[in-house]
Each structure stands twice: as C-alpha cells, then as structure tokens.
Structure 1
C-alpha cells in the first residue's frame, strides 16, 4: 500500500479514480478511489459554497469526534482535474475541472443508510448531545427532511457539516454577535427524542476548551483559510473562529435555553 502523508494532523491522499456522483446533496459530492486504496466521499472546493463548506466540515466534524460522536475519517484529497476527461456528465466534468488541488474526503461507509430515529430510537442523552452540538456550531442542516446522519453497524454516524458555521460566509471583524446568532431547533431531527439540556450543557461546554478549539482549527489547511479576505492571514482567521466559540460558550448561554424550550414543546 502506498505511503500516506500526514498534513496538519489529517491524512493526505490523492484521488486516482472518480467513481460516481452522489446526487442527493446540493454540492454534488462524489465517490472516489484514492492512492491508499480507500474509497472516500469527496467534497469539492469548486462547489457552490467553496472552501468555507470544507472548513466547516473539518471544524465541526473533528470537534464532534472529540466529543465522542462517530464521524467518518476526514482526509485531505488532492485531485487532478484530468480525472474528469472521461466523465460523460458535463456538470461533473466542470466540477472536477474547478476543483483541482486539495479537497476534502470522508471515509465511505459501505452499506450505511440514512438514520431514521423512528425505526431506531436514539437514547435521550445522545439526542440531547447532538442537539447541543448543532446549536453550538449553528448546523442548520440536520432535519427530518435531511437527517445528515447514517446508520452503520447499528451505530449512528454524523456526516455533512458544510452548512454549519453559516456566519463565516459573510462575517466581518467588526460584527461578531456570536452569542446571539439564531438557531431554530424546531425542525431538528433529535428534538422529539432529546432529554433535558442542562446536564448535557454543563458537561460539553466544559469539554470545549480553548485548547480543544485551537487543536481542531489547526487541522484546517492554511491555504483554505488564506482565501478569507476579511482577516488577511490564516492565523487571524483562526483567531476569529476562536472568538466565535468563546462567545458562544460564554454564559449565560441563551441559545441553550432556546434549545430546551424547543425540546420541552415537543415532549
């Protein structure tokens, strides 16, 4: 098996074969084979939301992993646009051509399928933890219509965090009301099953330390962060994300009260 080089703590592989698109997602992710002989769901830098979605995938996915959730391995995938030459679908061809360089991949979980909590009800604790995580990271894309969770080997796995941290698509250094960013949990997948938020909030907020946040942010490639013209340098962008999490976790956390109100209304 070829050597796999670590980069920023995430493994780096090279795509060797484009297999098929996944048309369920708006960004048209695709299944690729890489030079480590693994199969990955590739998220393209040339898709509509660009590298900001990839940054959110790394930050939220790796934060979730450190909080005990199952998340497929996240890798950095180098893509040669020449892989698109034999692709008959013009939309896919253009996406591959626009995504040369470093993209993001998630380990493909063969045989997995969309998680349905009605079929396999989550524990009240797990549901509350996931609701809290999505409230912290402003993940607006985990609903009944689009669960972004998989069932694999009888366990729940989290995927597709590109819509999280939505503020970074238009943020400015002088405008940062992180504590009050709106998160509507009424349609969240886990609201009907979640237990009380207070004990979960006490535990998880203590675990998301500044050191943990910096550890996760260090995994994001500098080249992706450097594209953010609002802050100038990759370290300045990381500092801005740190300020977001610090403000989001500072007390009183009104967003947790709002989560609890949404949960209580469904009990």
Structure 2
C-alpha cells in the first residue's frame, strides 16, 4: 500500500499527510496550473461569512471593486492558485479534507476546453474542429486547446467553452497532441445568441442630497451588484430554480429601471445559472417572470 506523502515545511510546522486530491493539486501547481478543491457535487466551496454575496468586493482578478484579502478558497475559480504554500497551508486544510475532486482554471494556464457533453457533440467536434488533446468525461470528452479566450455555455447542443473566469474538473492529462486554439472555437462564442434583455425604461429619479450621480449608473456599483448576483447563484446548494428567479428579480429591481443593464451583464447571470444546470428555457422563464412581477 502506498504511504501518503508528508508535506515538507519549514521548522516549527508539524508535517501533515497529503490526501490524493492534494497530491494531484500540488503536481499540477508545480507545472504552473492554478487549482482549487471541489466539494461534493463537483462545486467549489461556498464563500466564508466575510465574502458571502461578494460583500468583500471580490478578488482582484474578478474585476470587481476592492481587493479581497481573505486567505480561504472563496470566489470559486478566482481562488485557484499554483502557490504550494497556500495549497498546503492550515487555512485550506479543512477544504482538502472534505474535497471530492480537484478543479483548475483553464484560462489561468493559457488553455481552452471545449466541453463535449454527449456522443453527438463528440461526433460534431470530430467533423468540425481540429483534433487536439482529448480527456474522457462521464458522458463525453474535453478537447483541450493551447490558448485562452472568453468562456460561454451552450454554444450549441451539448457544447460549452471553458477558458477564462471558469473552472473545470481535473480528469487527467488526456491523450493526443495539444493544438493551438483555432478560429473555429473562437467563432463558437462569437456566434452565441444574446440572452433575453429587459425592456429599457426611462425613469425620473431624483439625485441624492448634495447633487451626487445616480448610483445605478456608477460602473463600480453595477459591477459589484452583478458579481454578487453571480456568486449567489453559484453558491446555491438547493432550490436552484428558486434561487435563480429570486436573483434575477433582485437584479432587475435594483438595475432594471434605469437602463444600465447590458446584454453582457445578463449573459453573465445566464452563464452562472447554466453552470448550475439550468437550461436556457429555465433562464428565460425566470427572467420573464421577474420582468412581469416588477411590471417592466
């Protein structure tokens, strides 16, 4: 039986034993791959109380206002790191003890994954895309290309593109030679249809006392609101349908009347919901119901 590998740390630290997931994470980190633990259900660990609903402002690479200095594995993909001291430190120890899998940030290591979710999607890829390194998944394959790009879900039936600002489960190195990211993959995201957009309404809102600008049109205010909404959906562990609807409702109630929402903002909310297993139809229904509830 293989003995667990002890962590080598500076004098004064008691060595702890590595479990299989942490060993895998350290092997990947040694190659410069940013990694994070996943809990049951193949989802990231929820934010700590200080970071819940992105109250901390989010991590800097999430492009939200204010840096987050929390050392815990909060903020899903944005917590991914290749720093072995962080991975083996006492703050992450509990997460690794509970971990059910290892994930990595593809865009953070200059990669793009075409996630093919079923046999028909694999057949389509073999016909339409350049061959590259392939990793078997439960129902299909991950095709991995060298190069990063924006991510998008449901670019066609059973096909997601995972690169920047998302995580992917580590399923092994795969087989085949990795190919440079082709234009055919970039075009998949460019052709993704825009999600339903709320109707634009002009309202007469009085300026706050002192003549300040309407906070709904402050970019940082809106950016933080969208990031908090994404995190609320991502953190849902049950009642996902209800959580998506309530989140859409809250966003529209705050930002839907002043015309500041764009297709890109709505797309981010849809992407978060799709990552939790919601279909486009479910997203459209939740968005429409929220619009109707608010009379927009």
Q: TM-score, normalised by structure 2?
A: 0.28
Q: Which has the higher contact order (CA 8 A, sep 6+)?
A: 1
**Greater share of residues in strand:** 1
Q: TM-score, normalised by structure 1?
A: 0.30
Structure number with larger C-alpha Rg: 2
